[in-house]
A = this chain, B = another copy of it.
């Protein structure tokens, strides 16, 4: 039983066509869930509640959560376990913990695992609002870069292993002629690969190419995986 209540009560000011952030809240205590929901709705957030971590994780559209508020102690999965599951799933949503009797080790573990805040009940309404606000703000900031990284990795995956080799050398500032000698090929060949790389990556210049690769953190993929077709979009580790 999950009391899903998509916000619509507190109508977000229609003046701004912006997206209303949706906060997903998990707590086994119905009273807390209701209180938190009321609180967040007043702050113009959309809210979805879950009585357990299992229920949260079972949602097919969990990727759409903009912020996840977890209770630390719950029957079944604990908040930390839920957080871990989210991490493993590569979910980028910021996590905030709330706990009645949280201990230092737990809070430290949560923070080390990337939680953005850890509130102890009872907390002031403003504390939660501020935490959610900053969490979403931060998330917003990184989401753009995130998307670009994703797109770049996507395009990068289309590159041939040979093309990656050429790309690697290009990023080292070598010119066609040098690369040709290095790879034992004709300069013309390198030119072609180079051209293809730029086409595939959707850039029109070497500078743009280097920028996108660096920004997407794909430089590492080139270092070792010259022939391997691997390109994990790895990131997020703070």
Contacts and interface: CB of A to CB of B under 8 A. Distances in A.
A206 interface: yes
Interface string A51-86: 000000000000000000000000000000000000
Interface in A156-179: 170-175
Contacts of A107: 104, 107-108, 111
Nearest to A99: B104
A210 B211 CA distance: 6
A27 interface: no
Contacts of A207: 170-173, 206-207, 209-210
Contacts of A117: 108, 112
A172 B214 contact: no
Copies of this subunit: 2
Contacts of A174: 205
A141 to B, nearest CB: 11
Contacts of A21: none
Contacts of A108: 107, 111, 117-118
Nearest to A205: B173
Interface of A: 99, 102-105, 107-108, 111-112, 117-118, 120, 170-175, 203-211, 213-215, 219
11 contacts: A99-B104, A102-B104, A103-B104, A104-B104, A107-B107, A108-B111, A173-B204, A173-B205, A206-B210, A210-B210, A211-B213
